[in-house]
Structure 1
Amino acid sequence: MGGGLRYTPEDEGNHAPGSDPWWQESVFLHWFDPAAGVGGVHRIGQEVPQDTSALCCFVFDREARYRRVERVPLLAPDTPRGFRAGGSTWDVEDGRPRLRVKEDGLELDLVMENFYDLTDFFPSGGSMVEDFAKHHYETSGRVRGTAVLQGRSYEIDGLCHRDHSWGPRRWDQLLSHRWVSGTIGPELSFGSMAWHAADNSVVQIGYVVRDGELVLATNVDVLAYMEVDALTHRGGEVHWTLADGSSLSARCTVVDGVVTGNHGVVWVDSLCEVILDDGRTGYCDFELSTNPRAGTRDIGLAVRAALHNGWSTRT
């Protein structure tokens, strides 16, 4: 698996769970509407052998942000291609994923349309694939719908990126990573992963999709501008050297972010405005974890991301 493998729309729904106690199936979405100043990060991770789901629900506008990150009871989907966790539901309707959220003071109804085929750009082996993402695909796209935050209503017309993974996921095998994924529109999307595993192996991979055509990277360099808390960041840079002989660079500036985690692993998802080296603009999620000593102490400070559940004022 991996290295440009394409999945089909039939893979959008649930898959039969395996017997491995670490088996999980997750849908993940980040999105941003720059005109409205509204964005979010969402994950529903069904862990069937453990009878739980890992939920991340994060939405912000220019005034406030809402965070709910916790493990919740496993809920059976009431559609054959659905996922449920807390107040979040994910369905595939008429071939398009639809996310709906109802939480305290928060309502979302978002529909996604793909810019390119469901693609797995991960390599075919190694700890990142075997221990964490055996089956995995991603795509960028358009997101449209409605959002209500504490009574403030928005018509959403923005950009998004999402992935879907299933299989055993050994959370204890990850020490540190950098995952940058985003888009400027149907003409160009991008992704990259820098992965540091518990066996001290390192993987650095990436890709660019131009007008629907995938080009894998031969080299990727990800630089994060870290805050004093050693967890959150102000943004960073990504540089791709591509297999067709071209290159691409992106400078990322954080708009807002969320501290999330599961099974003792903590990471931050930071939505960023992006400027490419040719001046074109878009957005990305600049996700990272920094845990080279595999420590377990609770996080007490997050300078540039939401750390506690519920509503908080943006600074």
Structure 2
Amino acid sequence: MPYTVRHGREGELRQVPETGEWWQDSAFMTFHAPEAGIGGHVRIGHEPHHAGGISALWFGLVTRDGRQFRRNVATPLTDADLRDDGFGAHGGRYLAVLDGEDVVFAVDDEGCSMRLRFADFYARTDFFPPSAGTLVDDFASSHFETSGRVTGTIVLGGRTYEVDGLGHRDRSWGVRRWDTLLDHRWVPGTVGPELSFGCISWHGVDGSLRQFGYVVREGEVVHAEAVDVVVELEADGLTYRGGTSVLRLPGGEELVVRARPYGATVSEHHGVACVDAICEVEVDGRRGFCDLEVSTNPRAGRGPVTTALRANLADGISGVPEAARA
């Protein structure tokens, strides 16, 4: 397809900032290791012209044994964050750095340490079409994604988890107007190098609704002709019990992803409250994972989140929410 764009290795590094308060440069990764029973996500976003320069951090871990960890904070950019090999946050205690051909995500926090290596399954690819409207115009003008294998070690609350699992990551830079987003559903995932997928539903403040998706089979990209993403929203209006995504591919084929979260984390930034839920999935008879990421804010409210039935809302180590055990 003509709108597929590939990015080179230089795209992994911090980009030269443009002027304006809302220019940002960010790295995101989500993963799941089924044998270890742990998954999570991390986002490091640099905003060099906002409030004197900040680094916005989203970090969440969920486990099958009930341990959770969250760190959601915006802190001043420091020399430890402004690295030549990538990104830092929280005074350099959180890192996303290029190491050879892989990206390493590292954490050194109270009660939590992590070092995970992400090896890509396919080339760094921008799947967003020009018709994506405000998503491209106001939120992610330069962007790429890829799925891959994630390996390494996490120590959480004194317990060690040896990670060998699946992941998905992205990079974005450019102007990001957070106030242009009302709702979104993003479902990136993979079952391995033979099959990865992603779909997105994006509701902009201008009233537009854009939905699109893709499948990558053995490195070859196929764009969906239509996408349908439905989530089972909880009474809190924020979290959810699961979701189903259908990607209709050329030739009439349908790829169906039924996602059941076993843990989720709330992240807030610039008035957006985002829930990332780690889900085990089965696609075409193969087991894998997806991150069911959702924000729901159709009336553009700006108050803080006070209740989350099925996602972690407390920074640091905590137990799994009671509703999620039901």
TM-score tier by shorter-chain length is over 0.9
Give the one of 269, 274, 287 matched to 2:276: 269
* Match in the other structure for 2:221: 214
d(CA) in 1 for partners of 2:251 and 2:143?
A: 24
In the alignment, which residue of structure 2 is the partner of 1:189? 196
Task: Please tell me the residue identity of whatever aligns with 2:242.
Answer: G
Partner of 1:57: 59
Which deviations, in whole Å up to 9, do the C-alpha atoms of 1:90-149 show, x marking residues without a partner? 110112100110111101011010011101111125211010000010000000011101
CA deviations over 1:178-204 (Å, ceiling 9, x no partner) = 100010111100001100000001100
Residues 1:271 and 1:20: Cα distance change in structure 2 (over 3 Å): same
Query: What residue is the counterpart of 1:115 in the other structure?
Result: 121
Q: Contact conserved, 1:215 with 1:244, CA < 8 A, in 2?
A: no
Maintained 8 Å contact 2:236/2:309? yes
**CA distance in 1: counterparts of 2:10 and 2:274, whole angstroms:** 30
Structure 2 segments unaligned to the other structure (5+ residues): 322-326
Shift of 1:21: 1.1
Q: Structure 1 residue 204 and structure 2 residue 211: aligned?
A: yes
Q: Indicate the RMSD between aligned Cα atoms, in angstroms.
A: 1.4
**2:78 pairs with 75, 80, 97, which one?**
75
Matches within 5 A, 1:140-179: 140-179=147-186
State the match for 1:252 in structure 2: 259
Contact map agreement 1:256 1:304 (CA 8 A) in 2: yes
What is the distance in 2 between the residues matched to 1:249 and 1:98? 31
- Please give the alpha-carbon distance, in whole angstroms, between the structure 2 residues aligned to 1:119 and 1:251: 24
Matched residue of 1:130: which SS?
helix
Rounded to whole Å, the distance in 2 between the matches of 1:282 and 1:49 is 39
- The number of residues matched between the two structures is 314
Q: Tell me the secondary structure at the aligned position of residue 255 of structure 2.
A: strand
Alignment pair present for 1:124 and 2:130: yes
TM-score normalized by the length of structure 2: 0.93
Alpha-carbon distance in 2 for matches of 1:68, 1:224: 25
Tell me how far 1:244 sits from its aligned partner.
4.8
**Structure 1 stretches of 4+ moved >3 Å:** 76-79
Which structure 1 segments of 5+ residues have no match? none
Question: TM-score, length-normalised on structure 1?
Answer: 0.97
1:229-281 superposed Cα distances (whole Å, 9 cap, x missing partner):
110011110100113542211111001111112111111111111122x3221
Correspondences of 1:2-21 after superposition (within 5 Å):
3-21=3-21
- Letter aligned with residue 23 of structure 1: W
Q: Assess if the C-alpha contact under 8 Å between 2:26 and 2:173 holds in 1.
A: yes
* Identity value in percent: 46
**Number of the residue aligned with 2:324:** none
More deviation in 73-82 or 209-218? Answer: 73-82
Residue identity matched to 2:215:
V
What letter corresponds to residue 82 of structure 1 in structure 2? G
* Helix, strand or coil at the partner of 2:307: coil
